[in-house]
Amino acid sequence: MTRRHSTHSRITRLLAPLAAFTLIAAACDDDLDDTTDVVDTTDVVGDETIVDVAIGDPQFSTLVTAIETAELGETLSGEGPYTVFAPTNDAFDTALDDLGILLDDFLTDVDLVEEILLTHVIADETIMSSDIEDGTTVTSLSDTELDFSVVGNRVLVDDVEVITADIEASNGVIHVIDGVLFPDDE
């Protein structure tokens, strides 16, 4: 565990300046209220993959550690396109607290980490916020059906709010969410 955190810390320190780029272009879309931000990073992202964007943003350090644990970095850096619903560190903290699990214990169950992460990924499709309508359903890489609802100007995926939408990467798009999505029980 220590070595992974150490590697993650070095990567984060090296790539932290990239986070500033993803925040510079933040703007709200006219169709959304203040609860959901739409970020236009078209000119900023360039060749940054979804993983590069996540590494460059400190609010995703737990997500990046989980991606490293499940060895999904290469996959999520691939051609795509992918749509990723990215939980923040606070979202992971809340979910793990609710489950009574420590982060280090969670990260030791690689199969579980991978299954949970795959629940946050839609393959072969870039779903922008403008594509989401109330009642839309998509299937994640974990074969979990994700249901969207639009309540006023808020977008929810399986009752988890999208707090920042449309962060573009070279191989897809990231939507920041304030909770963790769990796979369907089998």
Mean pLDDT throughout 48-68?
Answer: 96
Give residue 28's pLDDT.
Answer: 31
Q: Which of 25-34, 149-158, 171-180 has the highest mean pLDDT?
A: 171-180
Each as own residue / partner, the long-range contacts of residues 8-12 (CB below 8 Å, 24 or more positions apart, any chain) are: 8/61, 8/64, 8/65, 8/68, 11/55, 11/64, 12/55, 12/58, 12/61, 12/64
Q: Identify the CA nearest to 67 among candidates 79, 81, 84.
A: 84
Q: Which helix (H) or strand (E) holds 160?
A: strand 160-169
In CATH, the number for domain 2-177 is: 2.30.180.10
Whether 26 has a pLDDT exceeding 70, the answer reads no
Round the average pLDDT of the chain to a whole number and report it: 80
Whether 118 has a pLDDT exceeding 70, the answer reads yes
Report the percent of the chain where pLDDT is more than 70.
Answer: 74
Q: Where are the domains of the chain?
A: 2-177
d(CA 122, CA 42): 20
Question: Which pLDDT tens digit goes with each residue over 127-171?
Answer: 999 899 999 999 999 999 999 999 888 999 999 999 999 999 999
Please tell me whether the overall predicted TM-score, pTM, comes out greater than 0.85 for this model. Answer: no
Q: Identify the CA nearest to 165 among candidates 153, 152, 182.
A: 153
